[in-house]
Structure 1
Amino acid sequence: MRAVRSRRRAHGALAALTVCGMLALTGCQGDGESAGGAPGSTPGATPPGSPSAPPTAAAPTPAKSAPKPSASATTPAKKPVPSPPKPSCASVGPESTDTIALYRYTPEGGSYNLIVKHGAWTCDGAKGAAHGETFVPMGEETYIPIAETAKITATAPILSGPSSHPVTTHELTEWLVAHPNRALPFKYHLGAGGVIDTLDEIYVLP
């Protein structure tokens, strides 16, 4: 009886060891699956049939910036500055009371007589230095006596240059004989008896 019981105990212990071994083997396989996935699979490998990762999009190439326009292209052209308007004046002003155009000389009557024309200043034609205008003779010629001792100044063309210099009545009348009808403008003043005692030439731009 004791031998039978010992055999039974030995068979029971062996069966228990077999069951424990099988359980241990099953647990090891379970741990492998959880750590590495399915048997025979490589850790980290993409399982077959799974969608592949999308390809990385290439970074866009930056567009080249347009060349900057040169300074000459961006800077607007300078417009010419208009000249200021000239001061207005009447086409022909009123007759001057102290200016005459000198034409010739005559010794008739035993005295010095200047043949002249009265006139007015105008904006047209050459510019006179005194008024910035032109003296325009008008009307008929007339004569005015001049004193032999009159104070006279002259400029070009009687003398050279625009500066005024004194001349005598004789020097003036000799020039008028050699250069008649030049119509040079003079300012004059009448003294006693209606005789010219002061005569000054007005320089006219050539």
Structure 2
Amino acid sequence: MHLTRFRSAGVAFAAVALAASLTACQNDDGAAAQPGTRATASAPAQDPATAAPADPSSGASAKPAAKPAATPSKETARPTAKPAAKPAVTPTAKPATKPGGAPGAGCVTTAPTPDEYDPDEFALYRIEELPGSTGKVNLVLQHGAWGCGGKDTDGGPFVVSGEESRWALDQAAYVTATDPIVASTENTPIGVQELIDWVNAHPDSGLVFRYQTGDDGAIHRLEQVFTP
């Protein structure tokens, strides 16, 4: 009697334990499967090329993408027209000079007129001394112009005309001389007194000199012109 009751209670207890075990297994299986049901595959991004065109009725019209402005190539960017060539510069001819006292193109063949006189040259003939207080001496000279030389000459003569003139020379003037006053064909500085001594020893030589005047009107620079 007592044994039967124990067996019934044991069977009941086993049944309860089995039910609890089955319930736990079902709960474990559901929990394991639940994440799989939540994980959903993301929809792939829609390809703009395959996307369906916008519905015209929606009012939104798709505008085509603007094409970038074409960049000109280096070949087309370069100007094709070449700059005009500059005209060749023709050197200006220099006026003829008198080498060694030789005449230029404007030489005279007859006695020159005052309009033809050389403006800064004359022929010297004599020197007149003045009182020392003046600080000057007088040059006795004649104006003229260069004559035309012959084929066999190195230069033309200095042709004078008109009357003799007197021009004051400052005794402190800068003076240069060449042959025959000094033994040189190059202009050599000399003193005024040396010039006076030579001219007094060789009067009326007619040597040609180039001159410059100062503010007082007297000659302050006197340079002999070499004539071959």
Deviations 1:82-108 (A, max 9, x none): xxxxx7854256211100100001013
TM-score, length of structure 1 as denominator length: 0.51
- What corresponds to 2:189 in structure 1? 166
Matches within 5 A, 1:1-206: 89-92=107-110, 94-110=116-132, 111-124=136-149, 132-205=155-228
Take 2:173 and 2:153, find their aligned partners in 1: how far apart are those partners?
Answer: 28
Percentage of pairs with the same residue: 35
Per-residue deviation, 1:124: 4.1
Q: 1:173 to 1:88 in 2, by over 3 A?
A: closer
- Higher strand fraction (1 or 2): 1
Q: Does the Cα contact within 8 Å between 1:127 and 1:134 map onto a contact in 2?
A: no
TM-score scaled by structure 2? Answer: 0.47
Cα deviation, residue 133, structure 1: 2.8
* Cα distance in 2, alignment partners of residues 190 and 200 from structure 1: 12
Counterpart for residue 32 of structure 1: none
- How many angstroms apart in 2 are the aligned matches of 1:191 and 1:197? 6
Cα drift, residue 161 of structure 1? 2.5
> CA distance change for structure 1 residues 176 and 89 in 2, over 3 Å: closer, same or farther?
closer
Check conservation: 1:91, 1:124, Cα contact below 8 A: no
Aligned-pair distance for 1:147?
0.8
Contact 1:185–1:201 under 8 Å retained in 2 = yes
For these two proteins, the number of residue pairs brought into alignment is: 116
Gaps of 5+ in 2: 1-104
Amino acid in structure 1 at the alignment position of 2:201: A
Amino acid at match of 1:182: S
Structure 1 unaligned regions, length at least 5: 1-86
